[in-house]
Amino acid sequence: MEDKVCIITGSNDGIGKETAKAMAKHMMKVIMACRNMEKCEAAAKEVRAASKNDDVVCMKLDLNSLQSVREFVQNFKAMNLPLNYLINNAGIWTGTHSTTEDGFETMFGVNHLGHFLLTNLLLDKLEASTNPRIVVVASRSHARANLNINNLSVSAKEYSSTPDYGRSKLCNVMFAYELQRRLDAKGSKIVVNSLHPGVVHTNLFNTFPMLDKVVFPLASLFMTKATESAEASEALALGTAPHLQGVKGKYFSVKDQVESSAFSKKVDIQRQLWEKSCEMINKLLYRINIKDKKGGNDGIGKATAKVIAKQPIKLIIACRNIDKAADAVKEIKEYSNNDDVQCLKLDLGSFQSIREFVESYKQLNIGNVDYLINNAGVYFSDTVLTSDGFESMFGINHLGHFLLTNLLLPLMSDDARIVMVSSLAHQRASLNFDDKHFPPKNNGFVGYGQSKLCNILMANELQRKLDERGSSIVVNSLHPGTVHTSFLKGLKIIDRFLWPIFSRFLTKVEDSGNAVANLALGELLIYKDKKAIYFDLTKPSKSNTFSQQPKNSKELWLKSSALVQCSPEITLNSTTGADVTTTTITIPTTISTTTTTTVSTDSSSPTTPNTTL
C-alpha cells in the first residue's frame, strides 16, 4: 500500500490516534490533520514507532475555522499526492456554549460544517484515486436527536450540551447518506459509510467530570477500547473485509452494520441539510468588509469585483466610462492588494464597442476567460435607445450581454462559469415574440422586468446548448438582493427619501457582492449539479413560469442572434482552435496555481447604474 494516502482528522489523541496507528501499519502515507501541532508531532512519533512506518505526516487543520480548512486543502493539494482514504474523525463535545471562528455553534461547526467543507474540497482528489473511501465518525447519540433545518447553529440561549452534541452527530450520519447519494448520481466510485465507534473513555468527555472521573473508570471493563474503535474505522476505510464488499452509504455500530435512527433516513431533510450547509458556508466564503472602502458608494459590480480581486485572479472590469473605471481599478487594487486588475472599455449599448472589447481582450494575451459576470444593467436610463437603435434596457441588459457572451465563448475555459445578474423584477414579466411586439420597446418597470427575464431565459438556453455540446461550462442567474445603489437615481423621490427610510430592510451591497462572486467562484454549490439555476442571493430559488418554458428560451435565443447578427450556434474553445492557453480551473482554494481571468462588467458603479431590484 506504499502509494496510498490516508487523511485522518483529529488524530493526535483518542480514537483518531489509534486509527492513525492502524492505517499506518499498512505502510501507506498517513496525514494526521490536527489543530495542535505540538501535540500532533508527539502523537506522530508514537504512531511511527507503533507502526514502523516513517511516512506519517502532521498537517495543520483547525475545523473551528473554515479558512483553516481551505488552507489545509490548499497545502494538501500542493503536495500532489493521491488521496485514497479520508477519515473524518475529529469531534468535540462542549460543556458550555461557544462559537467557531465563523460564528457557528462549536459542535455544529466543528463536527459537521468543517468536515462538510473539507470533504467537498477533497472530492476531486478522492475521485482521481483508486478505491477512494470516506469514513464519517458519527455516534450513537445521533439516535435521540432531530434537526430544525432553520436553526442548525443554536444560540447560547437555546444551547443544551448533550442534545446539541447528538444533533451534530446526526448531521454526520445524514451527511454521509446524502453524500453517497450525490456521488452515486454522478457515477462516482467513492464509497462513504458512517459509524458509531463505541463508547470509549477519551478526552471527549473531559468537560464532564462525573463521567470522566467517576463513571467511566468504574465502567471501563464494559466499554469499547480505543483500539477496537480504530479497527472499526480502519476496516471501513480499507473496505477489504468480505462483509464490506459492495457495502456503501451505510451506518455501523463499531464493526456491525446497523440501522441508524428513523429521522436520519429522512431524505428530504438530508437534502435540506446539504443545501443549508452550502448556504451557510457560501455566505461566508469571502469574509470581506466592503465598508472599509474609501469614497463613494459601491454598486453591486464593484462590490463583486472587490470580493473576486481578493482571490489570486486576473480581473478585468469592463466599463463604458474609462475615467470612472480607472478610479474603480485603483480602489479595487487598494482594497484587495491584487495588482492584476485592469479595465477595458465596453459599452454594452453598442455592438461595435462589444466587438472591440473582445478584440482588446484577445490582444492582452492573458489566456482563457474562466469567469464571466454579466452584471451591468440600466433602469430609467439616460439614453432611450442604444446606438444600434434598441430600447436601452432590452439593448444593454439583454442584447449587449447576449453578444458579449457569444463572442467570449470561444475564449472560455472548458469549465468556465457564467453568472447572469438578473432581478426579482423579472417575476411579473413575459415576452410576446410576435414580430409586432419584438424586440420590446417598453420603458420603465415593464421593460426592465422583461430585460431581466431575458437574462434568465438566456442562461437557460445557453446551458442547454453547452450541455448538448458536452461542455462543462456552467451558467446560473441570480437576483442579487435589493440594494440602494446609484441605480434608482432616475426616481428621485424613491432614491432620496423612500430608500433611506427602508434601508434596513434592503440587502447590503457587500452581501450582494458576495452572492454574485459566490455564484462564480463558490466551491460549495457543487456547481456541476447546479446549472441554469436561478438564485435569490445564495439560495436556489424559482424564477417565473414563463422563464421555465424551454420554448421561450429557444425563441429568445433565435431572435436575439438575428438581432445581433451572430450565428444561433455557439462556438466553443475546442471547436475554433482559438489561440489561447488552456487553463485548469480549480476551486478557489487552489486557484493560486492557475491563470484565471474574470470579466466583470460595469464594476465602477458609474453612469450605467448597477442592477439592484
Look at strands 29-34 and 56-60 and give their pairing.
Answer: parallel
Q: Which is nearer to ligand NAP, 133 or 531 (CB)?
A: 133
Name the pairing type of β-strands 597-601 and 314-319. Answer: parallel
Which of 85, 159, 165, 177 is the catalytic position? Answer: 165
**Ranges within 345-374 binding ligand NAP (CB under 6 A):** none
Helices vs strands, H then E, count in the chain: 21, 16
Q: Does 202 bind ligand NAP (CB under 6 A)?
A: yes
What whole-number distance in Å separates Cα of residue 7 and Cα of residue 124?
Answer: 14
Q: How far is CA 535 from the centre of its chain?
A: 13
User: Please, which residue, 225 or 333, has the CB nearer to ligand NAP?
Assistant: 225
Those residues whose C-beta lies under 8 Å from the C-beta of residue 376, and which sit 6 or more positions away, are 301, 318, 348, 396, 397, 400, 401, 601, 602, 608, 610, 611
The one among 21, 26, 29, 35 contacting ligand NAP by CB under 6 A: 35
CB of 240 to ligand NAP, least distance (A): 22
Nearer to ligand NAP among residue 83 and residue 564 (C-beta): 83
610 binds ligand NAP (CB under 6 A): no
Does position 34 bind ligand NAP by CB under 6 A?
A: yes
Nearer to ligand NAP, 9 or 608 (CB): 9
C-alpha dihedral sign at 93, 94, 100, 105:
positive
Give the Cα separation of 322 and 344 in Å (integer): 7
165 is catalytic: yes
CB of 202 to ligand NAP, least distance (A): 3
Does 276 contact ligand NAP by CB under 6 A? no
401 binds ligand NAP (CB under 6 A): no
**Long-range Cβ contact pairs of 208-213 (< 8 A, separation 24 or more):** 208/93, 208/95
**Gap between the Cα atoms of 503 and 487, Å rounded:** 14
Nearer to ligand NAP, 206 or 576 (CB): 206
Where helices occur in 13-114 by DSSP H, the ranges are: 14-24, 37-51, 66-78, 106-107
Alpha-carbon Rg for the chain, nearest whole angstrom, is 26
Give yes or no for residue 204 binding ligand NAP (CB under 6 A): yes
Q: Which is nearer to ligand NAP, 204 or 329 (CB)?
A: 204
Please report how close the Cβ of residue 208 comes to ligand NAP at its closest, in angstroms.
Answer: 11
Q: Does 63 bind ligand NAP (CB under 6 A)?
A: yes
- If binding is defined by CB under 6 A, does position 195 make contact with ligand NAP? no
Q: How many residues does the chain have?
A: 613
Residue 176 sits in the site that holds ligand NAP (CB under 6 A): no
Closer by beta carbon to ligand NAP, 252 or else 286: 252
Sign of the dihedral defined by the CA atoms of residues 507, 509, 510, 513, in that order? positive
Binding status of residue 110 toward ligand NAP by CB under 6 A: yes
Candidates 15, 31, 412, 416; binder of ligand NAP (CB under 6 A) is 15
Measured between alpha carbons, how far apart are the two ends of the chain, in Å? 57
Residue 582 CA to residue 574 CA, distance in Å, equals 10
Exactly one of 67, 155, 162, 203 binds ligand NAP (CB under 6 A); that residue is 203
Comparing CB distances to ligand NAP, the nearer of 277 and 397 is 277
- Please pick, from the candidates 53, 84, 89, 604, the single residue that binds ligand NAP as defined by CB under 6 A: 89
Options 4, 7, 8, 10; binder of ligand NAP; rule CB under 6 A: 10
479 forms bridges with which residues in the sheet?
536
Residues 25, 28, 29, 35: is their CA dihedral positive or negative?
Answer: negative
Q: Which is nearer to ligand NAP, 193 or 381 (CB)?
A: 193
- Out of 87, 199, 393, 466, the residue judged to bind ligand NAP by CB under 6 A: 199
Q: Which of residues 43-62 bind ligand NAP (CB under 6 A)?
A: 61-62
Determine if 90 is a binding residue for ligand NAP (CB under 6 A).
yes
Taking CB under 6 A as the criterion, the residue among 91, 132, 301, 588 binding ligand NAP is 91
Q: 17 in helix, strand or coil?
A: helix
Interface size with ligand NAP, residues (CB under 6 A): 29
Q: The C-alpha cell of 152 is what?
A: 442548525
Burial class of residue 414 (count of CB atoms within 10 Å of its CB; 0-12, 13-18, 19+): middle
CA–CA dist 164, 142 (Å, integer)? 10
Which amino acid is it at 174?
M
- Are the C-beta atoms of 463 and 475 separated by less than 8 Å? yes
Is residue 13 near ligand NAP by the rule CB under 6 A? yes
Choosing from 7, 20, 113, 137, the residue that interacts with ligand NAP (CB under 6 A) is 137
Binding flag, residue 474, ligand NAP (CB under 6 A): no
Residues near ligand NAP (CB under 6 A): 9-10, 12-16, 34-36, 39, 61-64, 89-92, 110, 137, 139, 196-197, 199-200, 202-204
**Which positions are annotated as active-site residues?**
165
